[in-house]
Amino acid sequence: NAGVTQTPKFQVLKTGQSMTLQCAQDMNHNSMYWYRQDPGMGLRLIYYSASEGTTDKGEVPNGYNVSRLNKREFSLRLESAAPSQTSVYFCASSEMTDRSEQFFGPGTRLTVL
Amino acid sequence: AQSVAQPEDQVNVAEGNPLTVKCTYSVSGNPYLFWYVQYPNRGLQFLLKYITGDNLVKGSYGFEAEFNKSQTSFHLKKPSALVSDSALYFCAVRDRVTGGGNKLTFGTGTQLKVEL
């Protein structure tokens, strides 16, 4: 039981390049989330998927797109990376009930030059 | 809207002493409250949550938290700190009346440093 896995662990991009961050969970959770973590700002929600087939914007969605590929997988795409997107990205999953805790992946450290 | 404040960027405590990491929240209705811990270069790990009932919640690694509705606080506590407790701690809140999925709002984090 791996929990939440993310690939890659590290990535360096040049401004304007694109990439996709992958996330998968094996806990049969309905809901999945993408956050970014920046120093002094805590975690900010980028996008979430309450259940398979649905996605919604979070607090900071600009410059990102997501795909809920199936119940297990939720990817985050940067179409044209900018230096402001340098951050650590975390994927999380949870049961659909609003009292459920979220389980986090190990993170992807992204640097955009 | 829901929000969380962690007023201290860093808390220093000596090993063996009690520790407190503060959290206050703001919600429209009643809250669900969570504490997470993050060790260096790792993802967040769930520590404990308040849903309803007893205001004192016990969690992993000897941590506990006290829900105080009148003060809108949910402070994290441990009776005797260990050096291994040194990490970044996040408080999070979910307003029960908010629709649209299980969205949490996180505080900015408090760095706990436990020294010998």
pLDDT tens column, B63-115: 999 999 999 999 999 999 999 999 999 999 987 765 556 788 999 999 999 99
Decide: residue B76, CB within 10 A, 0-12 exposed, 13-18 middle, 19+ buried.
Answer: buried
Query: Is the Cβ–Cβ distance between A77 and A65 less than 8 Å?
Result: yes
Chain A contact for B89 (CB, 8 A cutoff): no
Q: What is the mean pLDDT of chain B?
A: 92
How far does Cα B12 stand from its chain's mean position?
Answer: 16
* Phi/psi of residue B49, nearest 5 degrees: -145, 155
B90 touches chain A (CB under 8 A): yes
User: How confident is the prediction along chain A (113 residues), in pLDDT tens digits per residue?
Assistant: 789 999 999 999 999 999 999 999 999 999 999 999 998 888 999 999 988 989 999 999 999 999 998 999 999 999 999 999 999 999 999 987 778 899 999 999 999 99
* Residue-level pLDDT at A17: 97
CB B73 within 8 A of CB B8: no
In chain B, what residues touch A34 (CB-CB under 8 Å)?
none
